[in-house]
Amino acid sequence: MKQFPGPDFLLNGPSARKLYHDYAAAMPVIDYHNHLPPDQIALDHQFENITQAWLYGDHYKWRAMRANGISEEFCTGNAGDADKFLQWAATVPYTLRNPLYHWTHLELQRYFEVNDQLNPDTAKKIYADCSAKLNSSEYSVQKLLSKSNVKLLCTTDDPLDDLKWHKQILQKSFNIHVKPAFRPDKAMQVDDPTAFNNYLHQLESVSGVSVKNFDDYLQVLKSRHDFFASAGCVVSDHGLEYLYYYKSRGGDLNRIFHKLLSGERPDAEESRMIRSSLLENFAEWDWEKGWVQQFHLGALRNANSRMLGTLGRDTGWDSIGDFPQAAGVAAFLDRMDQKNRLAKTIIYNLNPADNAAIAAMTGNFNDGSIAGKVQWGSAWWFLDQKDGMTDQLNILSNMGLISRFIGMLTDSRSFLSFPRHEYFRRILCNLFGEEIDKGELPDDIPWVGKVIQDICFNNAKNYFNWGVDL
């Protein structure tokens, strides 16, 4: 069988192939949003087998296996690692036209030099060969990152985190920069007083401050924001159903906060008031420090309540929501712009129906002070596939400046996921290359190649205030 993917995978023409192979392929990687565990980086973790590296925590694969009729025992259950891998291998042939089919075989090639297709006939040999490599020192976590040409990555971290693993990484002679990102979602869970108060008690313990009112709460969160900055953080991130701004008075906020402290759930308007105030304060702190703020909008979380109760969050029961977005994004960004406190901002949407609205919205707040100050982020989660990326790149080209786009990220929990950057780069080069070949763009390969390299690496290098030499 012919090798798949081949060297010209997704590259449909001579210009696309030249742009990718001569300009994009060798560019380093900045992965400014992922969910990699920093402890495994600090300890240079060694996986025992490919199931541990590939299937643990990967809800993309679990969802495909469930759809293929595979028992939960082989997804999140107690089946052995070899048996879990065999069930994944039995699923892969049925993932044709799903991005998992492409990602799976790119990862097997790039990390393990495996050119065979994964299926029940090849599974045992691939499992043995890949697991043997993962047991060698050349396949430790740090070596896997180096194989992917990663120069810098940002993890996703709760304000409670002591960042000890990031500090350990800094103390090691590791040539990849690993930075935390401030993700205060749990600090905003005001619809659940029990969860909120549990989190508040942990926050008090970490900070050594007793929180009596909303102002105290802000001060404690600000101290954690300052702490993250002292550890090299330059990025915040928020996972929200939608973005909004709702003006409120201090007395209202303290009244609502005391309801929470007493275990009473705020009503919908009160929740919006307190969340809006928190977001405004987070955004202002980001602006003061020169951070980049990210907003991931539109996920409908935990749709399957039975499985949520059985397996917990982040196990594959989330989907695309149909929340209204444009008015809230406009109100929030406008509020920060009015105050001259609008930080560099990246907005990701999960519902493709919002693509054009978000792409157009970013142009309202690009004021000429910084190239691409307000960005429409890369195709995210369910949109992180060929059609989703293509739509995002085309709409951004039509409504903004694709040349100033800061490019791709993995948003992954797997150290084997970095070929997603290659996948994106091939799609990007093909879009430009096909238009060159059709005469819709000039046949100026050096200039277009520079734009490609900027999108792959240089724009992200220059956009964030990394504080390190890349």
Where are the chain's structural domains? Answer: 1-45+151-179+406-470, 46-139, 181-374+386-402
Instruction: Reply yes or no on whether the pLDDT at 83 is more than 80.
Output: yes
**SS3 sequence of the chain:** CCCCCCCCCCCCCHHHHHHHHHHHCCCCEEECCCCCCHHHHHCCCCCCCHHHHHCCCCHHHHHHHHHCCCCHHHCCCCCCHHHHHHHHHHHHHHHCCCHHHHHHHHHHHHHHCCCCCCCCCCHHHHHHHHHHHHCCHHHCHHHHHHHCCEEEEECCECCCCCCHHHHHHHHCCCCCEEECCECCHHHHCCCCHHHHHHHHHHHHHHHCCCCCCHHHHHHHHHHHHHHHHHCCCCEEEEEECCCCCCCCCHHHHHHHHHHHHCCCCCCHHHHHHHHHHHHHHHHHHHHHHCCEEEEEECEECCCCHHHHHHHCCCCCCCEECCCCCHHHHHHHHHHHHHCCCCCEEEEEECCHHHHHHHHHHHHCCCCCCCCCCEEECCCCHHHCCHHHHHHHHHHHHHHCCHHHCCCCCCCCCCCCCCHHHHHHHHHHHHHHHHHHHCCCCCCCHHHHHHHHHHHHHHHHHHHCCCCCCC
**Least confident piece of the model among 31-35, 249-253, 359-363:** 249-253
**Which pLDDT score, from 0 to 100, does residue 248 have?**
77
Do 46-139 and 181-374+386-402 show the same overall fold? no
Given a cut of 80, is residue 58 above it in pLDDT? yes
pLDDT tens for residues 141-198? 999 999 999 999 999 999 999 999 999 999 988 999 999 999 999 999 999 999 999 9
Calculate what percentage of the chain has a pLDDT beyond 90.
97
Q: What is the pLDDT of residues 89-133, one digit of tens each?
A: 999 999 999 999 999 999 999 999 999 999 999 999 999 999 999
pLDDT for res 1: 67
User: Residue 244 — very low, low, confident or very high, per pLDDT cuts 50/70/90?
Assistant: confident
Q: Which of 1.10.2020.10, 1.10.230.10, 1.20.1260.10, 1.10.10.10 would CATH assign to domain 46-139? A: 1.10.2020.10
Q: What mean pLDDT is reported for the chain?
A: 97
Q: What is the pTM of this model?
A: 0.97
What CATH fold (topology level) applies to the domain 181-374+386-402? TIM Barrel (3.20.20)
CATH class of 1-45+151-179+406-470: alpha beta
User: Rounded mean pLDDT of 208-228?
Assistant: 97
Please report, rounded to a whole number, the percentage of residues in the chain having pLDDT higher than 70. 100
Question: What is the predicted pLDDT for the residue at 376?
Answer: 98
Is the pLDDT higher at 244 or at 192? 192
Residue 2: what pLDDT?
Answer: 78
The predicted-structure confidence for 432-443, as pLDDT tens digits, reads as follows 999 999 999 999
